[in-house]
């Protein structure tokens, strides 16, 4: 049952939470505003997708499919798999992570 304009259950009164803006859908544009002023924009576009095989800690062969997305408004890169979502400040940090974790280089 609705109670018109004073329906408090639909006003979105929630505790403050930090949001992870890099977890938005691919190509979606998110504009953050505060006090009617735009303070930031977020958009991540895919730049690379691949499947890699490697040995896990138990020396078993494992394969994962990953996507690398680049921010349209910053130098950030987003590494995304089914179980992992990591944001890197730049391409160098992403390359270092990929080399240490999977022995591959994105370039």
Mean pLDDT value across residues 81-98? 95
Residue that the structure tokens 């990953």 belong to:
66
Beta strands 37-42 and 77-80, pairing class: unpaired
Q: What is the pLDDT of residues 70-80, one digit of tens each?
A: 999 999 999 99
Q: What is the pLDDT of residues 37-78, one digit of tens each?
A: 999 999 999 999 999 888 877 888 989 999 999 999 999 999
Reply yes or no on whether the pLDDT at 107 is more than 80.
Answer: no
pTM to 2 decimals?
A: 0.76
Strand order in the sheet with 77-80: 44-55, 61-71, 77-80, 85-88
Beta strands 61-71 and 37-42, pairing class: unpaired
Domain boundaries in the chain?
44-102
Which tokens is 38 given?
A: 């735009």
Mean pLDDT value across residues 4-29? 70
């Amino acid at each position: 049952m609705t109670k018109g304009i004073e329906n408090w259950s639909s006003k979105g009164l929630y505790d403050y939470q930090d949001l992870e803006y890099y977890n938005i859908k691919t190509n979606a544009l998110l504009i953050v505003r505060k006090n009617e002023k735009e303070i930031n924009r977020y958009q991540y576009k895919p730049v690379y997708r691949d499947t890699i095989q490697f040995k896990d800690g138990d020396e078993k062969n494992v394969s994962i499919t990953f996507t690398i997305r680049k921010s349209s408004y910053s130098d950030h890169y987003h590494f995304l798999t089914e179980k992992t979502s990591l944001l890197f400040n730049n391409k160098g940090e992403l390359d270092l992570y990929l080399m240490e974790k999977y022995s591959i280089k994105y370039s």
